Amino acid sequence: MLSCGLLATGLALGCGSQSERTPALPRSLFETPGEPPKWSEPGDATCGFPSAADATKIDAAVVVLRILVGPDGAPKLVQMLEDPGFGFGSAATRCAMARKYVPGSDERGVPVATWTPPIRIRFLR
């Protein structure tokens, strides 16, 4: 029998290959084919601008991350793919963990823990 892997969070991710699953997605994500997923629009106050960026007078940044979403649609873990520093990664992580997601599913359509595709969170004043 094939044994399933576990993450440090203790979630079983299932035995199916990633290609047999649909990815988890933020509930507010409207993706255009051929365009990378976007989450926040410029000026989205829900993510908050980090105070470290205020001190250095940074007015724009982009964070790219992906989120491990449980079968219930709750975020479990954030993986930072691109972090410009100055507190933007922490602010984006807090924002990502506060949202609800549409869980991914296996080949039978059963919700499973899966990663979202990379999500760009833009900070702009």
Among 24, 26, 37, CA closest to 105: 24
Average pLDDT for 33-44: 45
Q: Do residues 101 and 67 make contact, with C-beta atoms less than 8 angstroms apart? A: yes
Predicted local confidence at residue 82, as pLDDT: 95
The number of angstroms, rounded, from the C-alpha of 86 to the middle of its chain's C-alpha atoms is 20
Question: What pLDDT band is residue 46 in, cutting at 50, 70 and 90?
Answer: low
- CATH of 45-124, picked from 3.30.2420.10, 3.10.20.30, 1.25.40.10, 3.50.50.60, is 3.30.2420.10
The pLDDT > 70 percentage for the chain reads 65
With 60 as the cut, is the pLDDT of residue 4 above it? no
Give the predicted TM-score (pTM) of the model.
0.68
Q: Do residues 104 and 13 make contact, with C-beta atoms less than 8 angstroms apart? A: no
Predicted local confidence at residue 32, as pLDDT: 41
pLDDT tens sequence across 88-102: 999 999 888 988 888
What residue ranges do the domains of the chain occupy?
A: 45-124
Predicted local confidence at residue 45, as pLDDT: 52
